Structure formats: structure tokens, C-alpha cells
Amino acid sequence: MARAPGRIEFIGNHTDYNGGTVLGASIDRAVWVALARRADGLRRFRSDRSDEMVEQPAAHPRKLFGPASWVNYPLGVLAALPEFKLRAPAGFDYLAASDLPIGAGLSSSAAIELASGLVFLGAAGEDPPRDTLVTLCRHAENHFVGVPSGILDQGVSGFGLKDHLVFIDCRGPRFDTVPLPAGAHFWIFNTHTKHALVDGLYAERHRECMEAACLLGVKLLADVSPAELALVAQALAAADPAFAGGGGSPPAVVNTAGGTPALPQATLLKRARHVIEEIARVDAAVIALRAGDLTEVGRLLTASHRSSQLLFENSTPELDFLVDTLASQPHVFGARLTGGGFGGAVMALTDGTFGEAQAGVVAASYGKKFGILPDILHTRTANGAELK
């Protein structure tokens, strides 16, 4: 049996696949996976959230669709094992159970991948380094499930440590931990709005970031500083008044692969500005955390959300309302969307005085506006994925 925690994207929104830095927290909500070997080569999958038993032969994992598509996460891990020169178990009975809410931006997908990876490796007698397991699980999500995610989700679930945040320099990747000042609490407000990364919005922003990097003449947006980006924007504005808002449509970028117009340069630079300034916010947050300055950390969190809202445009009215409401509450240091965006959840960083009654006020205000109450989760940090 293995347990792998969900994660909070503390700060560093969409910076991971752009080669930047990110901070995350593994939390005290998790996915558990139990495995029992079978001698007949049959692989049977079951979840506590479905009545359906899914069976596949041990030959080649086959991607599934519909209600059984949750099995693609462990199947993707199985498919990735040989590519990392690791053995996979043949037949088994597999059971997954979770107290992580699905679609709330807490990365239940990475948690099930890490827990699955640990039991598969344990059953096959393999014990690779932790960074290999994390990279393998990301590979499974990118190439089998089909989500072009970065290393954040798997890295935080894999390297989490109680009372710490996980710092990832995604270029390496390099993993480290940063102590979380005493008295810091996380409150998650799940909006019940759609958060389906495979549906394309995440992939669309990923593509836009790659096009923005191409426009700026670099491989990844992490290669550009905020000052360098400002100089490029000034040069483009000077060359074309329409770009600076002087009327008409901003110039389009040519997609060299297909020769068809892609996004306007102004839109691409908005995406780039969010990512590049977000990387700077991550670095500033590390400094503030080490100094124990939660007030400054909270300011950076809220600034991160405003950038997601206005520049990266991966927020929603529901998420914005929660951030606005939380920002006006006492004992709240800051708040932002957590995860890929386009729905999901808001994270608030609070002190220990913020409690159920105050969270209920926020939820009631949300319910009055949107006609549904958000789920509320009060979470703390927890250790990362482990065999039990």
C-alpha cells in the first residue's frame, strides 16, 4: 500500500513548463493505492469512487475513455516503466481510495500517479531514486494521459515535507524545501466549476507560452527577465502604434510550422509577462518565507492571482469573487487560485485565528452570488508520497 498527498500550488502559476521556479505544499489529503499480485497476468482496477471493475491484460496498456478514464493515470505509469528501464508487475488487483476532491486544483492526478508508481515498483522489486519516480509520473501524464503539465504536481507530491514548502527549479529539475513559518494555515474553497485540463484550455496556454518564447527569441520564458521583456514590449510598440493601443488590430505572429496566423503579439506578451513576473514573485516569496514575513508572502499571493486574472486569463468570475472576498477578511494574509485555473479552487493563507465561522461567512457570500456553496477544506502540510 502507498499514500501520496495532494498538493497546493502555493505560488508559481504555469511557471513549471516554462522552465521557471515554483513553490508548492503537499497537504494532509491524499490518494491511497493497495496492490495484490495475481498469477494469471490479469490487471484489475477498482476505485472507491466507481462501481466499475476495469480489466486489462498485462501486455500493452491501452488508453481508456469514458467513466473508466481515471485508470489512465496508473496505466500511464505502467506504460512509462519500461522507458525508464524499470520492471512492471504482471498481474495484480489494484484499489485506489481518496479523500482528495476531484477537479479542485489539488492534483489528485499526480497523487494517484505517485501512489501507483510506488506500489508497482515495490511489487516488481524496484527502488529508483525519488527524482526518477517523479519524472516518470510526469512522463505518464504528458505522454499517456495527454496533459502537457510541468513537474510541479508530481514534484510536490513526491518531495513534500511536513511544515515545509517544496521549491522546484523546473529547469533541472532541482528540488528543495523551504520552512513554512509557524502558524500558517491553508484554507481551500472549491468552486465546483469545471477544471478539466485535458479539455484543452491548459494545452492552449501551454502553446501560447511556447509561441511567446519563440517571439522573444528564447527556448523557454524563464530565459527572459522582467526588464528584458519590458524592452521588447517598448520596441514593438515603437515599431507599430497599433500594438501600443493606437487603434486597429495588433500584428499577428506567424505560426512557422503551419504558416497560419496565430495569436496577436500583444496577447502573447501578456502571457509572457505573467509567467516572467510570476517567477520573480516565487523568488521573492522564498526570501519572505525565510524571513518569516507572512504579510509580504500574502501580498505576493494576491498579486499572483491578479496576474492570472488579467494577463494569463485563466481565472473565472467565481475564483475572482472568492479572492476579493477573502482579501477583505481579517486574519487572511493573501489568496489566489491554485492549480491550472479555469475553475477549481482558491487557496487562502491565514493565521491560526481564521476559523470555521469566518470561512462560513465567505462561503455564504459566495452562495448568495452563485447559488451554490463552495466546499471548504482546512489543510496543513504533510509528508510526501510513501509506501505504507
CB-based contact 15:222 (threshold 8 Å): yes
Backbone angles phi, psi at 250, to 5 degrees: -65, 155
Looking at residue 197, its pLDDT comes to: 52
In this predicted structure, the answer to whether residue 260 has a pLDDT above a threshold of 50 is: no
Q: Which residues pair with 189 in a beta bridge?
A: 346, 376
Whether 328 has a pLDDT exceeding 60, the answer reads yes
Cβ(327)–Cβ(302) under 8 Å? yes
The three-state (H, E, C) secondary structure of 13-29, written as one string: CCCHHHCCEEEEEEEEE
pLDDT band at 242 (very low <50, low <70, confident <90, very high): low
Per-residue model confidence (pLDDT) at position 172 = 87
DSSP 3-state assignment of 46? strand
What average pLDDT does range 148-171 have in this prediction?
93
Task: Give the pLDDT score at 168.
Answer: 96
Q: Which residues contact 155 (CB under 8 A, 6 or more apart)?
A: 24, 134, 166, 168, 173, 175
Residues 6+ apart with CB under 8 A from 290: 178, 179
Q: What is the dihedral of CA 126, 129, 133, 139, to 10 degrees?
A: -110
Q: Is the pLDDT of residue 327 over 90?
A: yes
pLDDT of residue 150: 80
Measure the N-to-C terminal CA separation of the chain; round to a whole number of Å. 5
pLDDT of residue 241: 63
Residue 148 and residue 269: Cα distance in Å, rounded? 21
> What's the residue count for the chain?
388
DSSP structural state of residue 147: -
Look at residue 198 in the predicted model and tell me its pLDDT.
42
User: Amino acid identity, residue 161?
Assistant: L
Range with the poorest average pLDDT among 90-99, 258-267, 327-336, 346-355: 258-267
Residue closest to 285 by CA, chosen among 276, 293, 273: 293
Give the residue among 29, 68, 32 at the shortest CA–CA distance from 51: 68
pTM of the model: 0.86
Q: How far apart are CA 120 and CA 60, in angstroms?
A: 15
Residue 348 β-bridge partners: 187, 335
Q: What amino acid positions are annotated as catalytic residues?
A: 153
Contact status, residue 316 vs residue 191, Cβ threshold 8 Å: yes
pLDDT tens digits, one per residue of 181-222: 988 999 999 988 875 554 678 888 999 999 999 999 999 999
DSSP 180: P
Domains of the chain: 2-179 (3.30.230.10), 185-379 (3.30.70.890)
pLDDT confidence of residue 58: 81
Q: Which grid coordinates are listed for 34? A: 493497495
pLDDT at 250: 38
- pLDDT for 135-153, tens place per residue? 999 999 999 998 888 888 9
**Alpha-carbon distances, residue 287 vs 1, 19, 173, 297 (angstroms):** 38, 20, 20, 9
Q: How far apart are CA 19 and CA 275, in angstroms?
A: 10
Cell numbers representing residue 189 in the block:
474553497
Q: Which three cell numbers stand for residue 71?
A: 485508470
Is 257's pLDDT higher than 60? no
CB 166 within 8 A of CB 155: yes
Give, for 244, the enclosing helix (H) or strand (E): none
**CB-CB contact of 32 with 3 (8 Å):** yes
The C-alpha cell 523557454 sits at 220
DSSP-derived letter for residue 125 is T
d(CA 141, CA 161): 23
- pLDDT tens-place string over residues 355-375: 999 999 999 999 999 999 999
CA distance 209 to 14: 9
Confidence label for 176 from pLDDT (cuts 50, 70 and 90): very high
